[in-house]
Amino acid sequence: MAQFGPITVKNRAGNNEVYAPRNISGGVALAINAAGGVPIADRRLTLAVTETPSGKRKVAIKFVVPTVQDTVIGGVSKPALVRTMYADLVFTVDGTSTLLERQDMATRLSWLFQDPIIIDAIENLSNPY
């Protein structure tokens, strides 16, 4: 079992985004990237590993990435939430799976997000034809 610590991901520009551990509540680990400077701009990453009644394990990873812009109301600048992107990724793993099978799935997923068809679907909201 890994100790909960900072999680680093790269954005499209190749810059590191560090998600610092905030808490673990109800079995869900929450990490925050507070690059926006105000709480409504915090990017959030959650991670939870649970077991189903049938003995399967579920690994749930969720990203929440808000976009915040300053608005001026009555001469006062105030941050406002403009939109939010969400990404939910859930692995369902049979209780009899091997470490190699789980490693292979993680590797496949890593490569999946480098495929031009997947990139086009996510970035351009384009269905394949």
Domain ranges of the chain: 7-51+58-94, 98-129
Question: What CATH class has 7-51+58-94?
Answer: alpha beta
Q: Report, as an integer, the average pLDDT of 18-39.
A: 94
- Reference 25, options 8, 4, 2; nearest CA is 4
Q: Distance between CA atoms of 86 and 63, rounded to whole angstroms?
A: 6
List, in sequence order, every residue forming a beta bridge with 66; answer none if it has no partner. Answer: 84
Q: Report, as an integer, the average pLDDT of 46-69.
A: 95
pLDDT at 92: 96
pLDDT at 113: 92
pLDDT at 29: 97
Q: Give the count of beta carbons closer than 10 Å to the beta carbon of residue 33.
A: 21
Under DSSP, the state recorded for 113 is: T
Confidence category of residue 43, pLDDT binned at 50, 70, 90: very high
- Reference 21, options 41, 49, 40, 2; nearest CA is 2
Q: Report, as an integer, the average pLDDT of 114-124.
A: 94
pLDDT at 2: 83
Confidence category of residue 127, pLDDT binned at 50, 70, 90: very high
Tell me: pLDDT of 73 over 90: no
